[in-house]
Amino acid sequence: MASSDVMLNLNEKALRLLQDDAGKIEKLIAIQMENLATRKCPLYEEVLDTQMYGFSRAVDFAVRAGLVEEAEGKHLISQLERNLALLYEALAQKAELEA
């Protein structure tokens, strides 16, 4: 296998792994959206924050190692951040309705 084939395989594998990780975080967000538990659940917020931080560090590593294009890494992170923002907006709206 040529070195360009090896690099392409590594790039594809790195992107798949990051997409899988992003999918897991998406599931956490989706579960929270379904339940719309109170926003001030420190444990849940900490888990999401930790997951987001870890994911951003993994993306940063993959970009710096040349395994993922910077634009693709930024897209993965921004998509998760948008979904997390939607979660917090929905929770805030629920809290306003209950107040």
Cα distances from 46 to residues 18, 26, 28, 53, in angstroms, run 21, 15, 12, 10
Q: What is the pLDDT of residues 20-41, one digit of tens each?
A: 999 998 888 777 767 765 555 6
Cα–Cα distance list, 79 to 8, 42, 68, 99 (Å)? 24, 23, 16, 30
**Range with the lowest mean pLDDT among 7-11, 19-23, 26-30, 55-59?**
26-30
pLDDT higher than threshold 90 for residue 43: no
Give residue 36's region: left, alpha or beta (phi > 0; psi -120 to 50): left
Torsion 6-24-71-46 (CA) sign: negative
Check pLDDT > 90 for residue 13: yes
pTM of the model: 0.76
